[in-house]
Structure 1
Amino acid sequence: MKIGGLRHLCIIGTLALAGCASAPTGPKFGEMVLPQPPQDKAVMVVYREYAEPTKLAAKIDVDGTQVFAIPQQGFAHALVDPGKHQLAIRWPAASGTPGWQGDAEWEAGQTYYYQLRGTSGHGWYFKSSLEPTAKGLAQATLKDCCRLITEMKADATLATAQPQAPASRRSIDLANIRQEMRESEVIIAIGSPDHVSSESTGKRGIPFYFGSDTRRVSWSYTGVGYVVFSRNEYNGELRVVETKADANAP
């Protein structure tokens, strides 16, 4: 997918004019069953664990037509036609936030996951995108962060209430993980995580602080430990900052 650099100058008061997005009220990802793609369609899943501007819903278009809008910690899915298509993100016009466009190609009978990402660069540099994401990582993130958007909850198919079997410990060596590794490199080295969480480091609240490392993302590997990433404030990129062995990791 094509990602273009976007610059954004924050104008005080514009977010208030744009209004705020309500939190999603549908079932959690782990409480429902995604629709299976029919033979002549594909399924597109878009989720938003954390993306700035945090208070606004992002409108997602396929070939110029809006398919849904995603608030923070929400996700949605849609049946889409196979073939090549154009994806786009649109933000409320009054916010002054630029959008994004990219390309996608889907095969019938497949499910595709996209993570909505957005950074504001402390209000001086805005960039957003839809990032294709591996199924394992997408589902690990979704089950810990996201609810189905409110508009889709009436049609959700709930999962049968069955106790979940505990995840088995995998043969993983955290010694294979080095500082500054990207997400894709970690997945190649030790696979997708079992759980994903994130939190602010508190640096964002420091007056006149314009550095990065304002948010950390933690990948949990059951019975093994954690891989912790720092999020770059300006491009949204995640880089490993530490690993923590923990036999009690969920």
Structure 2
Amino acid sequence: MNGNKNRTVKLKIKRYLPDKGEIKEFSYEVKVNKYTTVLDALINVKETQDPSIAIRYSCRMGICGSCGMVIDGKPRLACQTHIETLKKDEVVVGPMEGHPILKDLVTDMDEFFSKHKYVIPWIYTDDIEEKFNPKVEYKQDRRELDYYLPFSYCIKCGLCVDACPISNSNPAFLGPQALAQAYRYNSDSRDKGEKLRLVRIDTPDGVWGCEFIGACSEVCPIGVDPALAIQLLKLDVMRFSLTGKVNNEKKVK
């Protein structure tokens, strides 16, 4: 739309006011061009019109995941969403609804990270020598890398949890982010913690809580596919439950 020429857009911000315990919508007018992101517009409003607006952001380039919010009804990263691509003169922005709201567009991510930590999201080994006194690089071939690499790009923005109807209706559900990361580490040939994770997630609020709706994968800004990871994880859980064995095919030596 007209290159660098500015136009005026109405930015409607759904702000949570903790002292009143309610969400109210405030309208602001901002000048935008084809390069303006929703985050740019929010920062502009905060700097020039209303410094009381609470927003969270850091890298401004889709890496940190800090600026997750609901934009025109869909969970997105504000720094990745260009206003011109929305093709509207009125843009509605609100906080993510799948996480407790602290103030305005800022949500509490403590529970999100607690669930992430619960699935042991690190390379687990019982080899003390390897853990504390490694002698050489732990090499992997292309096949071993391909098993987990597509699921390793998660930036922990929380958008997948916000989009998941199960997470929104059942707070105890581990959620797509944590489960996808369980699969990521289970599939790593360097890891020896697969049995520990499979026991933890083999519950109604774990891997079996997922109904494969796919909303999590649709909103991921990096292209991770949590829905696929969870279905593959279900196969691993069933194999372990029936045979007591893990999927050694993914851990080729």
- TM-score higher than 0.5 here? no
User: More strand per residue: 1 or 2?
Assistant: 1
TM-score normalised over the length of structure 1: 0.27
TM-score normalised over the length of structure 2: 0.26
Which structure has the larger Rg over C-alpha atoms? 2
User: More helix per residue: 1 or 2?
Assistant: 2
